[in-house]
Structure 1
Amino acid sequence: MPLEPHTPQPTGQVLPFRESLLAMLGVAFVVMLVALDQTVVGTALPTVVAELQGFEYYAWVATAYLLTSVITVPVFGRLGDYYGRKPFVLASIVVFSVASALCGMAPNMPFLVAARALQGIGGGMLVGTAFACIADLFPDSHVRLRWQVMLSAAFGIANAIGPSLGGLLTEWYGWRAVFYVNLPVGALGLWFAWRYLPHLRQQAHRGPIRVDWLGALLIAAGLGSLQMSVELLPARGLDAYTAGLLVVAAVALVVLWQWERRCANPILPVEMFRDPGLAPLFKLSVFAGFTMFALLLYAPLLFQGGFGYSPKEAGVLITPLVVCITVGSILNGRIVTRIRRPNTMLYAGFGMLALACLGLSQATRGMPHGVLMGIMLIGGLGLGFIMPNLTVFAQQTAGREHLGIATAMLQSLRMVGGMVGTAIVGTLVTRSYTGSVEQALSGANATQWASRMADPQVLIDKASQLALLGQLEQAGHNGALLLEQARVSLVGSIHLGLIVAGAAAALGVWCARQVPSIKLTRSPAPAMAAD
């Protein structure tokens, strides 16, 4: 069907109220799919690793998803500018749902990591297009902030039920159910987006469309090699393999920078990184992703493996973090348009996030649950003050010409931060825990049990604990004491990782000074093409 210009509305939105509401419901259901998956999987992941026997892949379950997402977000962000975003939103739901089913059928950890990588492609398609749909529908930043409450509500529903749902499904039906739960949500999102989301695209894109596939390949080579080297370096050292990966990463990223400077339609517009308004926002997005994913991934492991809580209890403790991301977003929308310096919300957000990380780094098993939930609440509010403002500030600074790619880059760089954060924190936790356990076993003349104790799954899986305790007692060792020492080692290791995450958030406070003063100006709705 030919595309005709859509009549702009005088209210700062492209569609009338009813059509805008239905379209936003479609986007909200789509966003809920990814939000639900992130919160449910995080709670269940320690149990997944305990059953599939592969703690060395623990961080890769998250980083595989993040890596493929990072690559696909800018690709489909650019394609969405050219062809309109609706086709890619629909395709992303299909890919994400199929990958979720494969995750649920995973027979081992490598298969799960591969399925999560495919899931990341679907998630990257979704993030690269769905968030830019909001700016297309609501060009006025004031109007956009009000309508974003619907997305916050979608995140709120998913985040409120996600951790507890993950714990309950894991206890009652097994961890595979946490992936299968995406299937009905995906079916609902697919129908709603197909039925109500309009097919909009900017009229400016005419003539033949050339996609920078070489740039996408260089991004994959550079970030993929860097990620693998970060994961393997602590275990292997700087051998020929890890050194080769680092060389490949460096060469790919240098060539990428040079190519993107000459490319007519770059997938990664390097001039955006020189923009004094956008560059600091991109940097803050990396810090936010670093801290957020470290919290979401390792707080459940701290509560279950370190403190011995059940998946259900851990889910309840994580709930304030994810729910208050939504609460903070809603509060932010009420505050940021009423204060003289909207940038203040970035200082507050990163400060609260740093406080939460440092507070959790001092948490102990005997700490009251109310205090732990309070720490999670502060972290959630901080993220709620950061994420919507980074998006709106970047869209405001980039303008209509680069709106889609600026939004995609912001989301992609947040995932880069998450990828680097989970890799660094994960490596730190693994190495610190393994070293502490080996030292404790050496002191008890029980080094033959190092391979069994080096995997924290034994601190989560009750059946494995009982079997190991019996074997240790038969060998004349104090099994309960050794397990407790391993638990203390895990807590100390995660505490160290959380301090690093808190330092990243503190750097965010410092770097927020570089963001120019933002003025949330009102703008008329531009002409768009629609089915």
Structure 2
Amino acid sequence: MSAPADRPWRESLLAMLGISLVLMLSALDQTVIGNALPSIVADLHGFELYAWVATGYLLASVVTIPIFGRLGDYYGRKPFVLVAAAVFTLASLLCAAAPSMLWLVIGRGAQGVGGGILIGTAFACVPELFPDTRQRLRWQMLLSAAFSVVNAAGPTLGGVLTETWGWRAVFYLNLPLGAVAFFCVWRYLPHFKPPQRLHGRLDWPGALLIALALGGLQLFVEWLPHADMALASLAIGSLALAAFAGLWWWERRIADPLLPPALFHDPALRCLFVLSVLSGAVMFVLLFYLPLLFQGGYGYSPKEAGLLITPLVLCITLGAIVNGRIVARLVNPNRLPQIGFALLLLTCLGLAACGRHASFGWMLALMFSGGLGFGFIFMNLTLFTQTLAARAHLGIATALLQSLRLVGGLLGTAIAGSLVSGLYRSAVTGLFSVHGAQAHVQAFSDPRLLLDAQARLVPLRQMAAAGHDAAMLLDGARDALVRSIDIGIGGCAVLALLALWHLRRLPTVDLHTATPRA
């Protein structure tokens, strides 16, 4: 069926209910798991794979988003949203049963496939249901309001589930939610078929080149800090560079490319894509390393850390709701993402400078500021892209924007993971060497001991028996972790500043356009 100009209110509400449920399924998993990660590492060990729990999900999503965004342009989006809900739910069961970190990473990759299909198709359903910009804004505010419940409850829920039933309950939670989401999409979301089938076949060589380029880039970043992996990292980096070059060459020469070059010829769209990468890097670094900072560095419990992170994710929704109320009334709507990146800059600088002894209230204020900043950024990037993109490229443009946000998250978390691991191990080695405790440094080279009170009892007793000040060394290890993560957050401040500078190049976006351009 094709989208009518005006749908009955009840049908629109039920259709948006289906879309919001599948998107909330992915959003809940991201906000809940971040606070459970330290406990997962303490149980399954394998701190070297900590970043891969995040980046494995992101890599799978990044590869699948543009593919299914394009398939949605070909065949309509509802079938793929249904497949995504099913894949995501089954992958959650795989994660819940994980006996090791490697198994969990594989399960997270499968979740990433489902999440990528969701992002590549579900977001593009909204402008099909509501072509008029003002009407679309009203429904997007409803979607944001629904997200507020999930975003607010996610971190705290993750902490409560982890402390009460263990971290596996975080993944079991997705099973009933996934079943409800699947039913609502199947029952209520209409199947909008494209007016005419696009010519040609899906650009599978382009999809393969994207996978090689992004996968190689991630491995290069992960392996680069390890001296024993120097040759392998250089080889994989060269492969990634060659894949990027091949992708650029190939997409310019085929009739129906996966990534249409016309998207990148528009300076405004190019600017939005760069901003999506930068904002994604900042968001994912904060979401995945703030729980480690609060629990391992500051000594908070998972529940306390969840309470701290709640304002960050809650205010993303609050900022989006406020944004939706005022953006269409502004002469220059670009001001709102400028305010968003300025708030992110202040948040990152405050986090990097406050140290271990900052008050709980001050940390809450910083989380509030960062959440509002993200709320002013993400909704506008999507809205601006759907306003500027040609209708024939609506699905792939929306999918590409979301995919590039995950590319930023992939690069950000991979670089932050390598940086934090390397700086922490170096600082702990130096600390223990200065105090003559080199024999015990191996136990503390993995920050999981800072998260698990039971696991560190034996090393602390051994150090005390050897005549060392165990409490002082433990406190020094916490300081080392805090300093390492603070440096990573300082890098996020640099990215926010770069985004503010780049945003000046975006022409004023005219939102008073009924539909995306033909």
TM-score in terms of structure 1 length: 0.95
Residue 38 of structure 1 corresponds to 30
1:451 aligns to 2:448 (yes or no) = no
Seen in structure 2, the aligned counterparts of structure 1 residues 239 and 367 have a Cα distance that, compared at 3 Å, is closer
1:491 aligns to 2:482 (yes or no) = yes
Q: Does the 8 A contact of 2:38 with 2:448 survive in 1?
A: yes
Name the CA distance, whole Å, in 1 between partners of 2:146 and 2:436. 54
Name the CA distance, whole Å, in 1 between partners of 2:230 and 2:356. 40
Name the CA distance, whole Å, in 2 between partners of 1:101 and 1:451. 34
Alignment of 1:108-507 (within 5 A): 108-206=100-198, 209-236=200-227, 239-507=230-498
Q: Does the 8 A contact of 1:28 with 1:150 survive in 2?
A: no
Tell which deviates more after alignment, 155-164 or 307-316. 155-164
Seen in structure 2, the aligned counterparts of structure 1 residues 7 and 233 have a Cα distance that, compared at 3 Å, is closer
SS at match of 1:464: coil
Give the AA of the match of 1:40: V
Q: Does the 8 A contact of 1:164 with 1:319 survive in 2?
A: yes
Q: Which runs of 5+ in 2 are unaligned?
A: none
SS at match of 2:354: coil
Tell which deviates more after alignment, 365-374 or 131-140. 365-374
Tell which deviates more after alignment, 233-242 or 156-165. 233-242
Residue 46 of structure 2 corresponds to 54
SS at match of 2:267: coil
Name the CA distance, whole Å, in 2 between partners of 1:248 and 1:405. 26
Name the CA distance, whole Å, in 2 between partners of 1:168 and 1:184. 18
SS at match of 2:455: helix
Q: Which runs of 5+ in 1 are unaligned?
A: 10-14
Give the AA of the match of 1:21: L
TM-fit CA distance, 1:363: 2.6
SS at match of 1:503: helix
Give the AA of the match of 1:438: T
Residue 511 of structure 2 corresponds to 520
SS at match of 1:29: helix
TM-fit CA distance, 1:264: 1.3
Give the AA of the match of 2:369: I
TM-fit CA distance, 1:270: 2.5
TM-fit CA distance, 1:209: 4.8
Name the CA distance, whole Å, in 2 between partners of 1:449 and 1:135. 59
Name the CA distance, whole Å, in 1 between partners of 2:287 and 2:406. 13
Seen in structure 2, the aligned counterparts of structure 1 residues 6 and 67 have a Cα distance that, compared at 3 Å, is closer
TM-fit CA distance, 1:522: 3.6
Residue in structure 1 matching 2:76, options 84, 88, 97: 84
Residue 501 of structure 2 corresponds to 510
Q: Does the 8 A contact of 1:139 with 1:526 survive in 2?
A: no
Tell which deviates more after alignment, 468-477 or 249-258. 468-477
Name the CA distance, whole Å, in 1 between partners of 2:120 and 2:69. 4
TM-fit CA distance, 1:475: 2.0
Name the CA distance, whole Å, in 1 between partners of 2:450 and 2:150. 28
Q: Does the 8 A contact of 2:389 with 2:516 survive in 1?
A: no
Tell which deviates more after alignment, 321-330 or 337-346. 337-346
Give the AA of the match of 2:406: M
Structure with the bigger RCO (C-alpha within 8 Å, sep 6+) is: 1
SS at match of 1:362: helix
SS at match of 1:367: coil
Name the CA distance, whole Å, in 2 between partners of 1:342 and 1:25. 28
1:27 aligns to 2:19 (yes or no) = yes
Identity among equivalent positions (%) equals: 54
SS at match of 2:268: coil
Give the AA of the match of 2:313: V
Seen in structure 2, the aligned counterparts of structure 1 residues 237 and 250 have a Cα distance that, compared at 3 Å, is farther
Residue 5 of structure 2 corresponds to 8
SS at match of 1:280: helix
Name the CA distance, whole Å, in 1 between partners of 2:365 and 2:390. 39
Residue 96 of structure 1 corresponds to 88
1:386-411 per-residue CA deviation (whole Å, 9 max, x = no partner) reads 00100010111113121111100000
Name the CA distance, whole Å, in 2 between partners of 1:125 and 1:363. 39
Number of matched pairs? 518
Q: Does the 8 A contact of 2:132 with 2:513 survive in 1?
A: yes
1:134-172 per-residue CA deviation (whole Å, 9 max, x = no partner) reads 011111111111100122122211111100000001001
1:220-265 per-residue CA deviation (whole Å, 9 max, x = no partner) reads 0111011001001101367321111011101111011100001111
CA RMSD of aligned residues (A): 1.4
Give the AA of the match of 1:306: G
Give the AA of the match of 2:5: P
TM-fit CA distance, 1:447: 1.4
Q: Does the 8 A contact of 2:156 with 2:303 survive in 1?
A: yes
SS at match of 1:24: helix
Give the AA of the match of 1:234: P
TM-fit CA distance, 1:526: 11
Residue 12 of structure 1 corresponds to none
Name the CA distance, whole Å, in 2 between partners of 1:72 and 1:518. 29
TM-fit CA distance, 1:424: 1.1
Tell which deviates more after alignment, 343-352 or 263-272. 263-272
SS at match of 1:463: coil
